Every structure is written in C-alpha cells, then in structure tokens.
Chain A
Amino acid sequence: MFATVDIGATRRVIATAPAETAITLAIPNELSQVRERVLDAPTDGSARMLATQLLERSWLVEGDTAVVGDGVSFEQLQVQVVGLEAEGRTLYRQVLADVVVDAEPS
C-alpha cells in the first residue's frame, strides 16, 4: 500500500490554452497512456511531451473548455501536474510540474 498522499491516483493533469479566461482542454483518450506516464512521473519533461502532443491537435472550443475536433489550433499551451501534500489531516494542493509550450512555427 502506498505511503503518502501524493500518488498517481491523487494527481491531476491540467492542460489549458491562454485566453481572456483560460480554456481547459479535455485530454483525449488516445493520449491516456501519455497522461498516465505524466501522472506517475510528473516532471517538466514528461509534461512538455504531453503538451507537445496536445499542440499537434485541433480543438473545438465551447465556452472555457475544448475537446479534440476540427476547429482551432493553439499557438501555446500550459500543462500543469498537481498533487497533494498533507499537514496532519489537512490536504493542500502542490504543483509538481508546470510547463508552457509554444507551437512550432509553420
């Protein structure tokens, strides 16, 4: 059994595109293995790899969320991996990895 509150199952990957209100991207199922790897080993390198693959896709934006589809491409994405830390029985959020990746100039 795991020893700490910060494990893969308690971490989250948050991918956002910059806008007036940041757009949150739904990570597609085809990238679930990459997402799992980022959760298990949350480094800037693994987060950057996921961000790069997200940047290669186009997105359908609805409000402040986006799903993969024939729509817009983003010029820049931020991927954060957040986890937990505990003090006694109080849990706090901690940022484990945080990268901003720009699209390759075409």
Chain B
Amino acid sequence: MIDTWIARLREPRSGVVVITAFVALLMASHWTPMALPAAIVIGLAILRPRDAISRVVWWALAAMWFTAIALEPARMEDHVYLFAVWLVALAVSLHQDTEEAFIEQAAWQARVLIGVTFTAAVGWKLAFNDFASGTALWLFMLVDYRFNPLATAVGLSEADMARDRLALTELLAGTSGALSLEAPSWVLWRITAVAVFALVIEGVIAVSYLASDSSRLAALRLPSIVLFAVLTYSVVPVVAFAALLAALALTAARWRSESMWVFPALVLMSATRALVINL
C-alpha cells in the first residue's frame, strides 16, 4: 500500500495536491481552525487519493481560506494571500483531464505567481529608497533579534547596537528629534551590499520565472529561489512561506524528480533556524 502511495506521489496531480495540503497545514499556524480542513485533505490524500485530486475539494479549500482571510485579516501575512491564490490556481488546473495537461497548466500558474510576486516585491522595494540604501535593513537589525547573526556578520558591534536601540526608544518616545545611523564606512558598505544583493536575487527570480521556458534565463529559476530561501530563511525563518515557495517552484519545474530535494531542503532549513531561535 505504501509503495502504491509513494508511486502515486510521483504523478504530478497527486504530488502537487499532497504537497499543497502539507503547506495548508503549515499555513494554519496563522489561524489554527484552518488546520482541520488541511488535515481532512491530507487524510483524503492518504485514504482516498482519488477524492483528494477532485477539483471540488480544492475549490472548497480555497473558499475556506478566502473566508478565513476575510474573517481574521489581522492574523494573515502576505504569503497567506499568495497561498489562497495558489489554491484557486490549483483548483483551475485540476479541471484538466490528463496528467500532462494538468502539469502544463499548474506549472504555468506557479511560474507566473512566483514571477509576479517577486516583481511586486522588487518594485515595492525600489519605490522606497529606505531599502536600497540599507537603512531599512539596518533598522530591522536593531529591532528584530533574529537579525543578530547578520548584524554581527556586517560588523555592527553589540555596543553600537545597544546605543542605537536606546536612541531609537528615545526617538519613538518623543524625547529626541532624530536618530542618525552611523558606523564606519566599511560597515555601511557591507549593509548596503547585503540590501542590494537581496534586491538583485529577487530581481533574478522575477525575471527568470516570467521568462518563457525556452529562455536561457529559465535555467536560473531553481538556483535563484534556493539562494533566496537560504539567505532569507537562515536569518528570518518563515516555515510556511518557505514551504509554499518550494511547492510553487517544484510545480513550476513540472514536478521533475531531480528537483524534489528543494522542498525538504527549504522546509528543514527554515524549521531548523526557527527551532534554534526558539531554544
């Protein structure tokens, strides 16, 4: 039975459905009642795999997630919206009759979703000079302890950070008028380089996923998304988003067996970092 189930996972339709159900379970961390429909779909995938690939199931799950977003918007982060759109894309793709037609459609949907998402992310960052100048990243290092390893790597000392945190508290309390972030030029250079590098990677993801499959740029898709995930989630782990990105990337890669390592690699890496942070 297990052999049959694993063999079924190699089929794109069953594989994409199971991995998306797993992502749904992780997304339920935003609002735990959503774990129930995710668990039901996972149960279906194990016990009644034919029913799990029914488009009705996925339209229903998409409707539930859009309802959850409407009911509890404060609990949802940006990647939950992306996930809900992916559920619709998956339901649409499941209308295809054959495995080949399904994966063609699902791969296109996943590719465009990644491309559009990262294009929006790059555009948003370029619209504000705060990011490209490194100022936003510098501030995140001050207010979010998860950035501590990065702060150390770029050369910000504990004493500098403590001084700036105190100055930030005074600024927000209204007891000082302004805070100038100052550091030696080589530290400034490193902070700006990290910010620009992050932008470049996101730009490469956007361009490579929006380029056609026949383009040479398509070869950069998986490497760029893995590099993005390694750099981002090894600092700030968002396990559900890492899993969603991996699921979309695998679908965009047409569920090829040689790409399968991406999902466990991304999820385990972000989960390990989350564990280290919470210990």
| Chain A contacts to B: CB under 8 angstroms | 1-5, 9-10, 12, 14, 33, 36-37, 40-41, 82, 84, 86, 88-93
With both chains docked as a complex, state the minimum distance between the C-beta of A40 and any C-beta of chain B, in angstroms: 6
Residues of A with C-beta under 8 A to B124: 3
Interface size classification for chain B: 20 to 34
The contact of A2 among B74, B129, B140, B173, by CB within 8 Å, is: B140
Q: A3-B124, A91-B180, A91-B181 are in contact. List 17 more A-B contacts (CB 8 A).
A: A1-B198, A2-B136, A4-B128, A4-B131, A4-B136, A5-B139, A12-B173, A37-B74, A82-B172, A84-B139, A88-B133, A89-B135, A89-B182, A91-B135, A91-B178, A92-B178, A93-B171
The contact of A90 among B129, B143, B173, B179, by CB within 8 Å, is: B179
With both chains docked as a complex, state the minimum distance between the C-beta of A2 and any C-beta of chain B, in angstroms: 6
CB-based contact A91/B133 at 8 Å: no
CB-based contact A92/B177 at 8 Å: yes
Residues of A with C-beta under 8 A to B171: 84, 91-93
The contact of B178 among A10, A37, A90, by CB within 8 Å, is: A90
Residues of B with C-beta under 8 A to A41: 74
| Chain B contacts to A: CB under 8 angstroms | 74, 121, 124-125, 127-131, 133-140, 143-144, 168, 171-174, 177-182, 198, 232, 236
Per the bound structure, the CA–CA distance linking A86 and B128 in Å amounts to: 10
CB-based contact B74/A89 at 8 Å: no
Residues of A with C-beta under 8 A to B143: 9-10
Per the bound structure, the CA–CA distance linking A12 and B143 in Å amounts to: 12
Per the bound structure, the CA–CA distance linking A51 and B121 in Å amounts to: 35
CB-based contact A82/B174 at 8 Å: yes
Given A4-B131, A10-B143, A40-B74, answer yes or no on A89-B180 (Cβ-Cβ < 8 Å).
yes
Residue of B nearest to A80 (CB): B174
Interface centre among A10, A36, A82 (most CB of B within 10 A): A10
CB-based contact A91/B168 at 8 Å: yes
CB-based contact A4/B178 at 8 Å: no
CB-based contact B130/A86 at 8 Å: yes
CB-based contact B130/A4 at 8 Å: yes
Interface centre among A3, A14, A88 (most CB of B within 10 A): A3
Residue of B nearest to A33 (CB): B74
Residues of B with C-beta under 8 A to A86: 129-130, 133, 135-136, 139
The contact of A3 among B131, B173, B236, by CB within 8 Å, is: B131
Per the bound structure, the CA–CA distance linking A3 and B124 in Å amounts to: 7
Per the bound structure, the CA–CA distance linking A72 and B114 in Å amounts to: 55
With both chains docked as a complex, state the minimum distance between the C-beta of B234 and any C-beta of chain A, in angstroms: 13
Residues of A with C-beta under 8 A to B129: 86
With both chains docked as a complex, state the minimum distance between the C-beta of B42 and any C-beta of chain A, in angstroms: 29
Per the bound structure, the CA–CA distance linking A84 and B226 in Å amounts to: 33
The contact of A89 among B131, B181, B236, by CB within 8 Å, is: B181
Per the bound structure, the CA–CA distance linking A84 and B176 in Å amounts to: 13
With both chains docked as a complex, state the minimum distance between the C-beta of A37 and any C-beta of chain B, in angstroms: 5
Residues of A with C-beta under 8 A to B74: 33, 36-37, 40-41
Residues of A with C-beta under 8 A to B174: 82, 93
CB-based contact B180/A90 at 8 Å: yes
Residue of A nearest to B195 (CB): A1
Per the bound structure, the CA–CA distance linking A82 and B174 in Å amounts to: 9
Per the bound structure, the CA–CA distance linking A78 and B130 in Å amounts to: 30
Residues of A with C-beta under 8 A to B135: 5, 86, 88-89, 91
Residue of A nearest to B136 (CB): A5
Residues of A with C-beta under 8 A to B138: 89
With both chains docked as a complex, state the minimum distance between the C-beta of A92 and any C-beta of chain B, in angstroms: 5
Residues of B with C-beta under 8 A to A82: 172, 174
